[in-house]
Amino acid sequence: MNITENITRLLAEVPSYVTVEAAVKTRTAEEIIEAIEAGIRVIGENYVQEAVRVKSEVNLPSEWHFIGHLQKNKVKTAIELFDMIETVDSTELAGEINKRCAQAGKIMPILIEVNSGREAQKSGVMPEEVEELIKNISGLINVRVCGLMTMGPAGCSSEAYRRCFRETKQLFDRLKCLNLPGVDMKILSMGMTDSWREAIEEGSTMIRIGSLIFGERN
């Protein structure tokens, strides 16, 4: 089974309004090129240095999103490489992105990472703190909040995933109704290889898929 076949099968099952983002951590430029040629338009990369390495070799139309934990000292490089940063979880990080984007003359779309499983070891904002964070960020000129992202607890049951996704969707809907300046709540990124079906049923508009496309990592 190859990458093209995996993507063809996946895209046939996923509703047209849902974006499939290929999670390409440790993948080669050749694998990423095959994925794009098979119909993937959004590439999700966890590491700034990996993007530096492979992106220059992938000369095909695609959007590159940063999906890992972004350190402030990597922001300057990240805003040069990526079209969206999906993992903003603090005012400080948003401020640094805003500062670097102002220097570069660009506006960076971002998603707020929600720690929907309330896991102490994970990054992300606790659900009850998301509204305050977005209100603090909304005045920044060079970032635009475009939605929320959550993964849910790794390896949990289908129903546990659903509870996390359902709460994040309710939060997304409530924030959308606030019509905050500088905020355009249009993307709800939830679900990965082991939870994408539940995520779509609970309202996800973007799923992040790695091993289901590329196979297990060596």
Q: Which tens digits make up the pLDDT trace of 111-139? A: 999 999 998 888 899 999 999 999 999 99
- Model's pTM, two decimal places? 0.95
CB atoms within 10 A of CB 5: 10
pLDDT tens-digit series, residues 168-196 = 999 999 999 999 988 999 999 999 999 99
Q: What is residue 71's predicted lDDT score, i.e. its pLDDT?
A: 95
Q: Please check the confidence at residue 54 and state whether its pLDDT lies above 90.
A: yes
Mean pLDDT of the chain: 95
CA distance 157 to 60: 38
Going by pLDDT thresholds of 50, 70 and 90, the confidence category of residue 34 is very high
Q: How many CA atoms lie within 13 A of 42 on its CB side?
A: 18
- What residues contact residue 119 under an 8 Å CB cut-off, 6+ apart? 153
| Domains defined for the chain, CATH in brackets | 3-9+19-214 (3.20.20.10)
CA distance 106 to 167: 33
Q: What is residue 216's predicted lDDT score, i.e. its pLDDT?
A: 86
Pairing of strands 19-23, 42-45: parallel
pLDDT tens-digit series, residues 141-157 = 999 999 999 998 877 89
Q: What is residue 155's predicted lDDT score, i.e. its pLDDT?
A: 77
Q: Please check the confidence at residue 22 and state whether its pLDDT lies above 80.
A: yes
The kind and range of the H/E element at 45 are strand 42-45
3-state secondary structure of 71: coil
Q: Name the CA dihedral angle for 46, 50, 54, 56, rounded to a multiple of 10 degrees.
A: 100
Q: What is residue 58's predicted lDDT score, i.e. its pLDDT?
A: 96
